[in-house]
Amino acid sequence: MSGDRVIDRCSSCDPRREFLSHALGFVVAIALPIGGAVALASGSERRYAIPSVDGVTIDRASQVVLVRRQMHAYAFALACPHQNTALKWLPKDGRFQCPKHDSKYQPDGTFMSGHATRNMDRFAIRRDGDALVVDVARWFQSDRQAVEWAAARVDL
């Protein structure tokens, strides 16, 4: 998993991120298989069926981690905020971990220990009927946008 490409979220990469965001705008209703579910893409938004039970779904194509936990849904960037390595979900431990420097995170994205200096980055998420809509062009860093980061969840 450490060899996976992830979207660079560094502050110096804004032109590239803007280009990618615009490029995603040309995608219209592409179905992407993820763990038995289907994500529909339109522009920068990804639609996912609301999971019926607590768990984690990783959409590698969109670099989105979708979590349902204790009647809340979250959408995270797959990249560790420390050095952008793809995170792993460890089901037996019930947490995320970075394979590069062993940063650990709770299922709600809260930083536990390791080299990282902040929580996992959250994407903007909303409920639309029986779907969760994730905007991959809007994400929040807990150290820079604490209020928005805390609000980036859906109550189920």
Q: Distance between CA atoms of 56 and 90, rounded to whole angstroms? A: 10
Token pair recorded at residue 115: 């080299």
State how far the alpha carbon of 150 is from the alpha carbons of 36, 122, 124, 141, in Å. 29, 9, 11, 10
Element (H, E) at 45: strand 45-49
Neighbours of 84 (CB within 10 A): 19
Percent of the chain with pLDDT over 90: 72
All domains of the chain, ordered by start, with CATH? 11-155 (2.102.10.10)
Instruction: Give the model's pLDDT for residue 43.
Output: 84
Q: Which residue has the tokens 């219209």?
A: 28
Q: Distance between CA atoms of 116 and 104, rounded to whole angstroms? A: 9
- pLDDT category, 40, cuts 50, 70, 90? low
Residue 60 CB contacts under 8 Å (≥ 6 apart), including other chains: 4, 34, 78
Least reliable range by pLDDT among 27-36, 43-52, 112-121: 27-36
- pLDDT category, 4, cuts 50, 70, 90? very low
The reported pTM is: 0.73
- pLDDT category, 153, cuts 50, 70, 90? very high
- Taken as a whole, the chain contains a residue count of 156
- pLDDT category, 62, cuts 50, 70, 90? very high
Q: Which residue has the tokens 């560790």?
A: 80
DSSP secondary-structure letter at 6? -
